[in-house]
Chains A and B, each alone.
Chain A
């Protein structure tokens, strides 16, 4: 009996020990120095573009690249699993919002020096894109931090209108350079909201916006913001912010220029826009390939302009970073420069109509093309250059504080609570969560 017990115990201990060892065993990437693992997400167009860039990379450097593609939804969980399993891919996509955790946890490599040594011209890549991956240990997104990645893309969130609809309604087309004022916008959308077939039910609307993605443009243009510059104080309880949120809700509840009170979170208005039933709707570079095939003409304009007189909107970005445990840092960084700034790869991506070129000179040429569709591509560039800002939670440690604003916002959108009341009520809760997030950032910095 004793022997069995000992044997079982021994095997068990050995088994657990083996597991623990594999779990902690670092390394990561492919053990082979001549192969680089690249993990990313995306559709067939992106895969094709990157395959081209990677082929050239392999020709130039003799280093093979193993590509790991995942679904957009699964990417974050898969990467996190790879990290906790100690199998970090050499090169991988990194979200702005996760950069700080990954830096503090020692997962991302500081690539500042290696990028400077390489022949990539950083001045020719959108500063917003590059700076998004700079982090000085306290603030992210500042031009003087250390570099932890290069942009895979920049995503300016522009505003568009259905040109065919406005022409049919006899409304003068909006200027491509100057946005409507808020009042003008209400006026135009009211004219567009009609019952065309006379059955007593509206079948065309001025607009139909989603609060989570469109409120930023209104708030910023009105002089409000989510936080102060240090990202330590939540400032949603200001009059400018309240006015913008109230305006957003009033588009539905007072002016009635959107389909219905409660469709903010559904796909509803997106489908109506594509069916040609909506006049004004946001357009991202990733939408262009789909929108170009629609039955109507559309173009881009600046967002409606609030009290500051300047339009504003957000720019997103996805980055490409290098694992701190990679066996071949030089090769990995070089791959990042190919993926971010290789001309031919950029051309493939741009031809697929899914992104704005990362290279400034190339983007300017692209915007000036005579057959551009939408014609006002320049609007995308002016957002990246001037009017666009990062999402409020892009550079904070976690987004719990930011999500808190949306969780209970429905009564405001339904018109049963005023924006001012709601914002006064939600601000302390957001502040608590932001404090906690900043505390976490400090703790992580101390631990790292």
Chain B
């Protein structure tokens, strides 16, 4: 904190001096013997400015064209009745009012949050897996590769395979359960099991990625700290809980943020495994419902309003996370 204070004082001092100088003379400050004439300086500045503007223009145009313009367009579209093809009719906030009366939208919002139960489970599993893979067990590289295969597989293909596996009659999962005398449910046709089924698949799919990041983070935990803790008599569990877990917190934070943003946009798995939104709309997510309204019912304006609301929710949730994380920041002196 004291460092920051110093800088502030220094800045204030400089500002005071400059202000005093400006007040003292009408003319701007000039070197006693100019290296170039004023004209030359101006020309040089102009050329440089032109180049600078050109270089800056590239990202700025990109930002305007691919972020600001579509965003503005979307916000405008959300205030219209529009089928995605013809004229937009401005209707003010009607789409937004309709949204909060639309039971399916609210259900899909609830479903989307429900799916996020998978995030802490997935993170805990991948941390455990990373710890195991970090111990130098036999076939470590092979295991790392195997756990990473789902990550690089096509999501659509994987979803179809899981759909077969979840089939109530002859799916692989129920056959395995049957060996233990358990009569498995028809996973995807049952309101109580369809969400857990999709969560399990999503965890399986994301496990390799989180594990990889955790593995890298664990390997950068200073060995000396762990050794010191061992000497002080800390057990293995204590070492993990009090040293490794706090040390990998930046990775956890990154994974939580990206998983929540990704989870809020869950679509492909749901659309492939339950093309009609599941029994009694029990698996439909917000993005799935947006897609249906936009492309099946041609309610592009209404769908856009939902997308805007979803965007705001994601933004707010992410903001909260950053706030919470700031409080948790720490540093190794």
Contacts and interface: CB of A to CB of B under 8 A. Distances in A.
5 contacts: A101-B83, A403-B296, A410-B279, A444-B83, A448-B86
Contacts, number: 119
A15 B61 CA distance: 6
| Dominant secondary structure of chain A at its interface with chain B | helix
A114 B262 CA distance: 51
- In the A-B complex, the 4 residue pairs with the closest CB atoms: A105-B86, A7-B53, A105-B85, A262-B189
A214 to B, nearest CB: 15
Interface in A35-89: 76-77, 80, 83-84
Nearest to B299: A398
Given A15-B65, A398-B298, A410-B191, A263 B168 contact: yes
Given A407-B276, A407-B277, A408-B280, A11 B83 contact: no
Given A12-B60, A263-B169, A107 B86 contact: yes
Q: For B50, B189, B296, which residue has the most chain A Cβ atoms within 10 angstroms? A: B189
Nearest to A269: B169
A421 B186 CA distance: 25
Given A8-B53, A12-B61, A265-B276, A259 B169 contact: yes
B81 interface: yes
Q: For B69, B85, B163, which residue has the most chain A Cβ atoms within 10 angstroms? A: B85
Contacts of A262: 168, 186, 189-190
B89 A443 contact: yes
A80 B295 contact: yes
Contacts of A12: 57, 60-61, 64
Nearest to A107: B85
A102 interface: yes
B85 to A, nearest CB: 4
Nearest to B274: A265
A268 interface: yes
Contact of B65 (A16, A101, A260): A16
Contacts of B191: 410
A399 interface: yes
A76 B84 CA distance: 12
B84 A11 contact: no
Interface in A343-380: none
Given A12-B64, A403-B276, A398 B297 contact: yes
Contact of A407 (B52, B169, B170, B280): B280
Contacts of A4: 49, 52-53, 56
Nearest to B98: A436
A97 B274 CA distance: 22
Interface string B48-89: 011011001100110011000100000000000101111101
Contacts of A175: none
Interface in A80-121: 80, 83-84, 98, 101-102, 104-107
A168 to B, nearest CB: 23
Contact of A80 (B49, B50, B84, B281): B84
Contacts of B50: 7
Contacts of A403: 276, 296
Nearest to B50: A7
B207 interface: no
B297 A399 contact: yes
Nearest to B85: A105
A400 interface: yes
Contacts of B89: 443, 447
B49 A3 contact: yes
B186 to A, nearest CB: 4
A447 B301 CA distance: 15
A264 B191 CA distance: 14
A16 B87 contact: no
A212 B64 CA distance: 46
B202 interface: no
A16 B69 contact: yes
A263 B169 CA distance: 8
Contacts of B167: 263, 266, 268
A171 interface: no
Contacts of B64: 12, 15-16
Interface in A374-402: 398-400
A406 to B, nearest CB: 6
A19 interface: yes
A179 to B, nearest CB: 29
A165 B298 CA distance: 45
A140 B61 CA distance: 46
Given A8-B56, A266-B188, A76 B87 contact: no
Contacts of A84: 84-85
Contacts of A7: 49-50, 53, 57
Given A12-B60, A107-B85, A410 B65 contact: no
Contact of A408 (B60, B86, B281): B281
A105 B52 CA distance: 45
A263 B65 contact: no
Contacts of B188: 265-266
Nearest to B275: A265
Interface string A423-448: 00000000000000000100110011
Interface in B160-207: 163, 167-170, 186, 188-191
